[in-house]
Structure 1
Amino acid sequence: MSDLLPVIPRWRRWAFDLVFYGGSVPIVATTPISALIGRSTLIAHATAWTSFHRWAVRRLLGIEIRIEGERPSGPALYAAKHQAMFETLELQRLLDGPAMALKQELAQIPVWGWSARRYGALVVNRDGSAAALRTMMREAKAAKADGRSILIFPEGTRVAPGETPPLKSGFAGLYRLLALPTVPVAVDSGRLLPRRGLRRRGTITIRFGEVIPPGLPREEVEARVHAAMNALER
């Protein structure tokens, strides 16, 4: 299906890489300053960066973004599909600076990792140890206490379009611990922005699924979240 979409011209790809990644250097480099001032300033700093990203995607790559569905007005647990870097930035902006899952390798980057922790990132250790899981749970609980939404990618990693791996066990733990409304998020960014291959023009859809209340049995909530996250798969 994606092969039928027009390839983004080379000059547009070069312009995006030059403008976005070049412009990101001073933004990311000054992140620790915002982190020292306070979390609200750091969230505003991150939102400015993600807004810049959206502008570059639309204006330089010629990719449009369509938002479908509604989301709750208060804090929620968002469980999103992950196909490209695009949604990790776009959902930060759309969800007003949620506490976001972050793989441990990124959290270990000097200075930047410290800033991410100040932002309220939930550090995910892929070895799945009990201690790492307890740490993530503690960070998520602190984010809830601050009145923030939590954003996770419960399949555990970026996947190609059409792939629907099972949810990692940490999702059920967070769902039970936080007792928040849960919103599955489907995306199809991988059709246009694949990890390998040519970037293509078109429209990326972000679809907020039906809100799932807390307190459901594990099997039921996992099945509902998995189905809604993959609603855009073809």
Structure 2
Amino acid sequence: MIFLRNLLFWIVFYGGSVPMVLVSPLAALFGKRAMIAYAGAWVWLHGWATRAILGIHVRVEGHVPQGAPVLYAAKHQAMFETMELARLLGRPAVVMKQELAAIPVWGWAARRYGVIVIDRGASAGALRQMLRDAQDELGEGRSILFFPEGTRVAPGEQPPLKSGFAGLYQLLKVPVVPVALDSGVVWPRKGLKRPGVVTFRFGETIPPGLPRKEAEAKVHAAINALES
């Protein structure tokens, strides 16, 4: 039964995603608002398919801030949260690795959505551009979603934060909301996805202006709050 659920999910979600991704540049031609709305349709498809087909549901713990934009620093265990957090957080701008943003056509559409490209080997000029992009999104009232560990990790793993988090935190001067999650339990990197509940735990807001090591320690502890 689990295999059949996975097979049906692949057919429905990825079968629907291919034409949506191919058409996304056309939506991007109508501007950022149109691209954000279009991305919302893709997020809806993903959410429906995970709930109705895979039997994966979401539980939210803690307070999701409303009002002024913030920097969300989230654990990253599966593709699941990249889509689900976009729904929970109201289509935030997303910090994305340069390799993904460089994908032909799709990368251009992603930039129209408002992704913020991070390239850890970039020049000082590229880093300044990243900061300007982030400030522009904040100026439009959009929060920013960042995965400070840099890549997906297995449940239980607690790697140190990448240096990019400290740079954004110190330069943007906005509160940080850490997000712990346990998606990797039902959505492993390898193997079949299983029915279950994914918990998103929003930690206490971390104010701007803290020393780097203190801010990193608070974020690291909070995003790993569900790790055993």
Cα distance change, pair 227–119 in 1 and its aligned pair in 2 (3 A): same
2:5 to 8, 12, 26: 12
Q: Give the match for residue 127 of structure 2.
A: 133
Instruction: State whether structure 2 residue 24 is matched by structure 1 residue 31.
Output: yes
Instruction: State whether structure 2 residue 114 is matched by structure 1 residue 120.
Output: yes
CA distance in structure 1 between the partners assigned to 2:58 and 2:65 by the alignment: 20
Q: Give the match for residue 96 of structure 2.
A: 102
Deviates more, 1:119-128 or 1:70-79: 119-128
Alignment of 1:189-204 (within 5 A): 189-204=183-198
Q: CA RMSD in A?
A: 1.3
Instruction: State whether structure 2 residue 199 is matched by structure 1 residue 205.
Output: yes
Q: Contact (CA 8 Å) 1:185, 1:208: kept in 2 or not?
A: yes
Give the secondary-structure state (helix, strand or coil) at the position aligned to 1:60: helix
CA distance in structure 2 between the partners assigned to 1:129 and 1:154 by the alignment: 20
Q: Give the match for residue 68 of structure 1.
A: 61
Shift, 1:184, TM fit: 0.2
Shift, 1:133, TM fit: 2.9
Query: After TM superposition, what 4+ stretches of structure 1 lie above 6 angstroms from structure 2?
Result: none
Shift, 1:131, TM fit: 4.1
Shift, 1:37, TM fit: 0.6
Q: Where in structure 2 are there 5+ consecutive unaligned residues?
A: none
Q: Give the match for residue 82 of structure 1.
A: 76
CA distance in structure 2 between the partners assigned to 1:24 and 1:78 by the alignment: 26
Alignment of 1:151-190 (within 5 A): 151-190=145-184
Q: Contact (CA 8 Å) 1:133, 1:170: kept in 2 or not?
A: no
Shift, 1:62, TM fit: 0.9
Q: Where in structure 1 are there 5+ consecutive unaligned residues?
A: 1-7
* 2:44 partner letter: S
Q: Contact (CA 8 Å) 2:120, 2:164: kept in 1 or not?
A: no
Deviates more, 1:79-88 or 1:69-78: 69-78
Report Cα offsets for 1:58-103 as digits up to 9, x if no partner.
Answer: 1100111111111221211000000000001111111111110111
* 1:98 partner letter: P
Give TM-score, length-normalised by structure 2: 0.95
* 1:69 partner letter: G
CA distance in structure 2 between the partners assigned to 1:91 and 1:111 by the alignment: 24
Cα distance change, pair 132–196 in 1 and its aligned pair in 2 (3 A): farther
CA distance in structure 2 between the partners assigned to 1:156 and 1:91 by the alignment: 16
Shift, 1:171, TM fit: 0.8
Q: Contact (CA 8 Å) 2:36, 2:91: kept in 1 or not?
A: yes
Q: Contact (CA 8 Å) 2:6, 2:192: kept in 1 or not?
A: no
Instruction: State whether structure 2 residue 48 is matched by structure 1 residue 48.
Output: no
Q: Contact (CA 8 Å) 2:3, 2:192: kept in 1 or not?
A: no
CA distance in structure 1 between the partners assigned to 2:126 and 2:180 by the alignment: 27
